[in-house]
Amino acid sequence: MRALRLAVRQRAARIALAVLGVVVLLMITGEWLAPYDPLHQDTTAILAGPSAEHWLGTDYVGRDVLSRLLAGSRLSVIAAAEAVGLGLLLGVLPGLASVYVGRVFEWLSLRVMDGLMALPFIIFAIAVAALLGNGLHQAMFAVGVLMAPSFYRVTRAAAIGLRQAQYVEAATLFGATRWRVVRTHVWQKVLPTVVVTTATAMAGALLVVSSLTFLGIGVQPPAPTWGGMLASDLGYLTQRPFGPVAPALLIIVTVAALNALADAMTVDPATTQEAPDALRR
Protein backbone atom coordinates (compact mmCIF):
# COMPACT_ATOMS: atom_id res chain seq x y z
CA MET A 1 0.00 0.00 0.00
CA ARG A 2 2.80 2.35 -0.94
CA ALA A 3 0.41 4.55 -2.87
CA LEU A 4 -1.76 4.95 0.18
CA ARG A 5 1.27 5.66 2.36
CA LEU A 6 2.45 8.33 -0.01
CA ALA A 7 -1.04 9.77 -0.36
CA VAL A 8 -1.32 10.19 3.37
CA ARG A 9 1.40 12.80 3.17
CA GLN A 10 -1.16 15.10 1.57
CA ARG A 11 -3.61 17.05 3.69
CA ALA A 12 -6.58 16.32 1.40
CA ALA A 13 -5.98 12.62 1.69
CA ARG A 14 -5.70 12.79 5.47
CA ILE A 15 -8.99 14.67 5.69
CA ALA A 16 -10.57 12.15 3.31
CA LEU A 17 -9.31 9.26 5.38
CA ALA A 18 -10.63 10.89 8.55
CA VAL A 19 -14.05 11.33 6.95
CA LEU A 20 -14.05 7.74 5.73
CA GLY A 21 -12.98 6.63 9.19
CA VAL A 22 -16.03 8.34 10.63
CA VAL A 23 -18.23 6.70 8.00
CA VAL A 24 -16.81 3.29 8.85
CA LEU A 25 -17.36 4.03 12.53
CA LEU A 26 -20.96 4.97 11.78
CA MET A 27 -21.30 1.80 9.78
CA ILE A 28 -20.19 -0.30 12.72
CA THR A 29 -21.78 1.57 15.59
CA GLY A 30 -24.62 3.47 13.87
CA GLU A 31 -27.35 1.20 15.14
CA TRP A 32 -26.15 1.55 18.74
CA LEU A 33 -25.60 5.29 18.47
CA ALA A 34 -29.15 5.85 17.18
CA PRO A 35 -31.16 7.58 19.91
CA TYR A 36 -34.42 5.88 18.85
CA ASP A 37 -35.50 2.69 17.15
CA PRO A 38 -35.09 3.69 13.48
CA LEU A 39 -38.26 1.77 12.59
CA HIS A 40 -40.50 3.10 15.36
CA GLN A 41 -43.35 5.20 14.02
CA ASP A 42 -44.94 8.02 15.98
CA THR A 43 -47.87 9.04 13.82
CA THR A 44 -48.74 11.90 16.14
CA ALA A 45 -45.52 13.67 15.14
CA ILE A 46 -45.00 13.22 11.42
CA LEU A 47 -42.73 15.47 9.36
CA ALA A 48 -41.68 17.39 12.46
CA GLY A 49 -38.83 19.89 12.34
CA PRO A 50 -35.62 19.63 14.35
CA SER A 51 -36.15 19.72 18.09
CA ALA A 52 -34.37 18.76 21.28
CA GLU A 53 -36.02 15.33 21.07
CA HIS A 54 -35.47 14.77 17.36
CA TRP A 55 -32.34 16.62 16.26
CA LEU A 56 -33.08 16.14 12.58
CA GLY A 57 -36.84 15.96 12.90
CA THR A 58 -39.13 13.08 11.96
CA ASP A 59 -40.11 11.56 8.63
CA TYR A 60 -43.43 10.88 6.89
CA VAL A 61 -44.53 8.26 9.42
CA GLY A 62 -42.97 9.95 12.44
CA ARG A 63 -39.65 8.06 12.60
CA ASP A 64 -36.57 9.79 13.98
CA VAL A 65 -34.48 10.92 11.00
CA LEU A 66 -31.15 10.97 12.85
CA SER A 67 -31.66 7.39 13.99
CA ARG A 68 -32.48 6.30 10.48
CA LEU A 69 -29.44 8.05 9.04
CA LEU A 70 -27.16 6.41 11.57
CA ALA A 71 -28.74 3.00 11.18
CA GLY A 72 -28.82 3.36 7.40
CA SER A 73 -25.07 3.88 7.11
CA ARG A 74 -24.26 0.20 7.32
CA LEU A 75 -26.66 -0.90 4.60
CA SER A 76 -25.71 1.96 2.27
CA VAL A 77 -21.96 1.36 2.55
CA ILE A 78 -22.14 -2.44 2.58
CA ALA A 79 -24.27 -2.38 -0.55
CA ALA A 80 -21.71 -0.22 -2.34
CA ALA A 81 -18.86 -2.40 -1.10
CA GLU A 82 -20.64 -5.52 -2.30
CA ALA A 83 -20.97 -4.11 -5.80
CA VAL A 84 -17.35 -2.94 -5.90
CA GLY A 85 -16.15 -6.30 -4.61
CA LEU A 86 -17.93 -8.11 -7.38
CA GLY A 87 -16.65 -5.60 -9.93
CA LEU A 88 -13.11 -6.19 -8.69
CA LEU A 89 -13.44 -9.92 -8.93
CA LEU A 90 -15.01 -9.89 -12.38
CA GLY A 91 -12.73 -7.17 -13.71
CA VAL A 92 -9.24 -7.56 -12.31
CA LEU A 93 -8.74 -11.29 -12.84
CA PRO A 94 -9.94 -11.32 -16.47
CA GLY A 95 -7.98 -8.09 -17.01
CA LEU A 96 -4.72 -9.78 -16.02
CA ALA A 97 -5.67 -12.99 -17.78
CA SER A 98 -6.41 -11.13 -21.02
CA VAL A 99 -2.74 -10.13 -21.18
CA TYR A 100 -1.15 -13.40 -20.14
CA VAL A 101 -3.50 -16.26 -21.04
CA GLY A 102 -3.79 -16.07 -24.78
CA ARG A 103 -5.37 -14.41 -27.79
CA VAL A 104 -8.63 -16.33 -27.73
CA PHE A 105 -9.36 -15.38 -24.14
CA GLU A 106 -8.21 -11.83 -24.84
CA TRP A 107 -10.58 -11.47 -27.80
CA LEU A 108 -13.51 -13.05 -25.94
CA SER A 109 -13.06 -11.06 -22.76
CA LEU A 110 -12.72 -7.81 -24.69
CA ARG A 111 -15.98 -8.45 -26.52
CA VAL A 112 -17.80 -9.34 -23.28
CA MET A 113 -16.52 -6.20 -21.58
CA ASP A 114 -17.43 -4.07 -24.60
CA GLY A 115 -20.94 -5.53 -24.40
CA LEU A 116 -21.23 -4.80 -20.67
CA MET A 117 -20.01 -1.25 -21.18
CA ALA A 118 -22.87 -0.65 -23.57
CA LEU A 119 -25.46 -1.47 -20.90
CA PRO A 120 -26.87 1.41 -18.86
CA PHE A 121 -26.65 0.88 -15.08
CA ILE A 122 -30.18 1.70 -14.09
CA ILE A 123 -31.91 -0.18 -16.91
CA PHE A 124 -29.76 -3.25 -16.36
CA ALA A 125 -30.42 -3.16 -12.61
CA ILE A 126 -34.17 -2.96 -13.23
CA ALA A 127 -33.94 -5.88 -15.64
CA VAL A 128 -31.95 -7.94 -13.14
CA ALA A 129 -34.44 -7.08 -10.40
CA ALA A 130 -37.25 -8.19 -12.71
CA LEU A 131 -35.43 -11.45 -13.41
CA LEU A 132 -34.02 -12.33 -10.00
CA GLY A 133 -36.40 -10.45 -7.70
CA ASN A 134 -36.20 -7.04 -6.15
CA GLY A 135 -33.58 -7.15 -3.41
CA LEU A 136 -30.32 -5.60 -2.32
CA HIS A 137 -28.10 -8.46 -3.41
CA GLN A 138 -29.75 -8.70 -6.81
CA ALA A 139 -29.34 -4.99 -7.41
CA MET A 140 -25.73 -5.05 -6.26
CA PHE A 141 -25.06 -8.02 -8.49
CA ALA A 142 -26.22 -5.91 -11.42
CA VAL A 143 -24.11 -2.94 -10.38
CA GLY A 144 -21.07 -5.12 -9.73
CA VAL A 145 -21.30 -6.79 -13.11
CA LEU A 146 -21.44 -3.43 -14.85
CA MET A 147 -18.48 -2.14 -12.83
CA ALA A 148 -16.33 -5.03 -13.99
CA PRO A 149 -15.31 -3.37 -17.31
CA SER A 150 -13.76 -0.39 -15.47
CA PHE A 151 -11.54 -2.71 -13.44
CA TYR A 152 -10.85 -4.88 -16.46
CA ARG A 153 -9.73 -1.94 -18.58
CA VAL A 154 -7.40 -0.33 -16.05
CA THR A 155 -5.90 -3.66 -15.01
CA ARG A 156 -5.35 -4.70 -18.58
CA ALA A 157 -3.85 -1.34 -19.55
CA ALA A 158 -1.39 -1.47 -16.67
CA ALA A 159 -0.52 -5.11 -17.29
CA ILE A 160 0.07 -4.60 -21.02
CA GLY A 161 2.58 -1.86 -20.27
CA LEU A 162 4.44 -4.15 -17.90
CA ARG A 163 4.53 -7.12 -20.25
CA GLN A 164 7.33 -5.47 -22.24
CA ALA A 165 9.18 -4.17 -19.17
CA GLN A 166 12.80 -5.25 -19.09
CA TYR A 167 12.67 -6.80 -15.65
CA VAL A 168 9.62 -8.84 -16.64
CA GLU A 169 11.39 -10.05 -19.78
CA ALA A 170 14.48 -10.78 -17.68
CA ALA A 171 12.43 -12.80 -15.21
CA THR A 172 10.96 -14.76 -18.09
CA LEU A 173 14.40 -15.39 -19.52
CA PHE A 174 15.56 -16.68 -16.18
CA GLY A 175 12.78 -19.25 -16.39
CA ALA A 176 10.15 -17.73 -14.12
CA THR A 177 6.72 -19.21 -14.74
CA ARG A 178 3.92 -17.05 -16.07
CA TRP A 179 2.15 -17.31 -12.72
CA ARG A 180 5.29 -16.20 -10.85
CA VAL A 181 5.79 -13.27 -13.20
CA VAL A 182 2.24 -12.10 -12.70
CA ARG A 183 2.29 -12.62 -8.93
CA THR A 184 5.71 -11.18 -8.22
CA HIS A 185 6.40 -8.59 -10.86
CA VAL A 186 3.13 -7.50 -12.40
CA TRP A 187 0.56 -7.60 -9.61
CA GLN A 188 2.51 -5.28 -7.32
CA LYS A 189 2.72 -2.67 -10.05
CA VAL A 190 -0.92 -3.04 -11.03
CA LEU A 191 -2.19 -2.88 -7.47
CA PRO A 192 -1.91 0.91 -6.96
CA THR A 193 -3.94 1.51 -10.11
CA VAL A 194 -6.57 -0.97 -8.92
CA VAL A 195 -6.70 0.70 -5.51
CA VAL A 196 -7.26 4.10 -7.07
CA THR A 197 -9.97 2.67 -9.31
CA THR A 198 -11.56 0.99 -6.30
CA ALA A 199 -11.83 4.27 -4.45
CA THR A 200 -13.41 5.95 -7.46
CA ALA A 201 -15.68 2.96 -8.05
CA MET A 202 -16.73 2.95 -4.42
CA ALA A 203 -17.81 6.57 -4.78
CA GLY A 204 -19.67 5.70 -7.98
CA ALA A 205 -21.28 2.66 -6.34
CA LEU A 206 -22.52 4.74 -3.43
CA LEU A 207 -24.19 7.06 -5.90
CA VAL A 208 -25.65 4.20 -7.93
CA VAL A 209 -26.93 2.48 -4.77
CA SER A 210 -28.48 5.76 -3.74
CA SER A 211 -30.01 6.20 -7.19
CA LEU A 212 -31.40 2.68 -7.22
CA THR A 213 -32.91 2.92 -3.75
CA PHE A 214 -34.19 6.33 -4.84
CA LEU A 215 -36.02 4.47 -7.60
CA GLY A 216 -37.24 1.77 -5.24
CA ILE A 217 -34.88 -0.94 -6.41
CA GLY A 218 -32.71 -2.84 -4.01
CA VAL A 219 -33.35 -2.27 -0.36
CA GLN A 220 -36.65 -3.53 0.99
CA PRO A 221 -38.65 -1.17 3.21
CA PRO A 222 -38.70 -0.11 5.94
CA ALA A 223 -34.91 -0.59 6.17
CA PRO A 224 -33.29 2.86 6.02
CA THR A 225 -30.68 3.81 3.45
CA TRP A 226 -29.28 7.20 2.55
CA GLY A 227 -30.63 7.07 -1.01
CA GLY A 228 -34.02 5.83 0.13
CA MET A 229 -34.29 8.60 2.69
CA LEU A 230 -33.33 11.18 0.10
CA ALA A 231 -36.05 9.89 -2.22
CA SER A 232 -38.74 9.90 0.42
CA ASP A 233 -37.78 13.33 1.75
CA LEU A 234 -38.09 14.87 -1.70
CA GLY A 235 -41.79 14.04 -1.67
CA TYR A 236 -42.37 16.23 1.38
CA LEU A 237 -40.40 19.35 0.55
CA THR A 238 -43.32 21.59 1.46
CA GLN A 239 -43.54 20.14 4.93
CA ARG A 240 -39.81 19.58 5.52
CA PRO A 241 -37.83 21.71 3.07
CA PHE A 242 -34.57 20.84 4.83
CA GLY A 243 -35.38 17.11 4.78
CA PRO A 244 -33.10 15.97 1.94
CA VAL A 245 -30.14 17.96 3.26
CA ALA A 246 -28.89 15.44 5.83
CA PRO A 247 -28.93 12.27 3.68
CA ALA A 248 -27.66 14.24 0.68
CA LEU A 249 -24.80 15.68 2.73
CA LEU A 250 -23.79 12.24 3.95
CA ILE A 251 -23.74 10.93 0.38
CA ILE A 252 -21.86 13.97 -0.92
CA VAL A 253 -19.25 14.01 1.84
CA THR A 254 -18.57 10.27 1.58
CA VAL A 255 -18.31 10.35 -2.20
CA ALA A 256 -16.11 13.46 -2.08
CA ALA A 257 -13.81 11.82 0.46
CA LEU A 258 -13.44 8.73 -1.70
CA ASN A 259 -12.72 10.84 -4.75
CA ALA A 260 -10.19 12.97 -2.86
CA LEU A 261 -8.43 9.84 -1.67
CA ALA A 262 -8.37 8.44 -5.19
CA ASP A 263 -6.97 11.72 -6.51
CA ALA A 264 -4.26 11.74 -3.90
CA MET A 265 -3.25 8.21 -4.76
CA THR A 266 -2.96 8.97 -8.47
CA VAL A 267 -0.29 11.60 -7.85
CA ASP A 268 3.07 10.39 -9.15
CA PRO A 269 4.85 8.83 -6.16
CA ALA A 270 8.22 10.10 -7.38
CA THR A 271 6.98 13.68 -7.37
CA THR A 272 5.40 13.18 -4.00
CA GLN A 273 8.60 11.77 -2.58
CA GLU A 274 10.70 14.59 -3.88
CA ALA A 275 8.45 17.49 -3.08
CA PRO A 276 5.73 16.49 -0.67
CA ASP A 277 5.50 19.99 0.74
CA ALA A 278 4.65 21.41 -2.65
CA LEU A 279 1.44 19.44 -2.55
CA ARG A 280 0.43 20.68 0.86
CA ARG A 281 -0.76 24.05 -0.29
Partner 1 sequence: MRTRTLTTVLAALLLLAGCAGETTPTSQDATAAGGSLTWGWHLPSTWDPVTSTVGQDVHALSLAYAALTKQDVDGNAVPALAEGWEYNATGDEVTFTLRDGLTFTDGTPLDAEAVKASLLRGRDAPDSTIGAQLGVVTDIRVDSPTEVTLLLNQPDYQIPLLLSGKTGMIVSPTAVETDVAGLATQPAGAGPFALDEYVPASHATLHKNEDYWDADAILVDDFELRVPPDPTVAVAGIQSGQFDVAVIPPAQLEAARAAGLEVDVIDVFTVRVLDVNNTVEPFDDPLVTQAISHAIDRQELVDVAFFGEGDPNWQPFPRDYLAWNDELDQLYPFDQDRARELLAQAGYPDGVAVTLTTQAENDPLAELLQQQLQEVGIDVTLEVATPGANNYVTRQYPFVVDSFSGRESPLQSLEVLFGPEGLMNLGRNAPPEIQQAIDVARSTPLDDPGYEQAVQDAVAAAVTTMPNTFLFTWPRIFARDPSVQGLEHYIGTQRFEGVTVGR
Binding stretches for partner 1 (CB under 8 A): 41, 43, 46, 60-62, 126, 129-130, 133-134, 213, 216-217, 219-222, 228, 231-232, 234-239
Minimum distance from CB of 223 to partner 1 (Å)? 9
**What's the CA gap between 18 and 26, in Å, rounded?**
12
**Could you give the C-alpha distances from 38 to 27, 42, 112, 171, 248, in angstroms and in order?**
14, 11, 43, 58, 18
Minimum distance from CB of 256 to partner 1 (Å)? 24
The interaxial angle of helices 65-100 and 187-214, nearest 10 deg, is 140
The residue (of 166 and 238) whose beta carbon lies closer to partner 1 is 238
Minimum distance from CB of 34 to partner 1 (Å)? 18
The residue (of 16 and 229) whose beta carbon lies closer to partner 1 is 229
Q: How far apart are the first and last CA of the chain?
A: 24
Minimum distance from CB of 215 to partner 1 (Å)? 8
Q: Which residue in 131, 130, 94, 97 sits closest to 113, CA to CA?
A: 94
Minimum distance from CB of 186 to partner 1 (Å)? 42
The residue (of 74 and 156) whose beta carbon lies closer to partner 1 is 74
The residue (of 132 and 170) whose beta carbon lies closer to partner 1 is 132
Minimum distance from CB of 125 to partner 1 (Å)? 10
The residue (of 196 and 246) whose beta carbon lies closer to partner 1 is 246
Q: Which residue in 26, 13, 8 sits closest to 256, CA to CA?
A: 13
The residue (of 107 and 242) whose beta carbon lies closer to partner 1 is 242
Long-range Cβ contact pairs of 23-31 (< 8 A, separation 24 or more)? 23/73, 23/77, 23/254, 23/257, 24/77, 26/70, 26/73, 26/74, 27/73, 27/74, 27/77, 27/78, 28/74, 30/70, 30/71, 30/72, 30/73, 30/74, 31/70, 31/71, 31/74
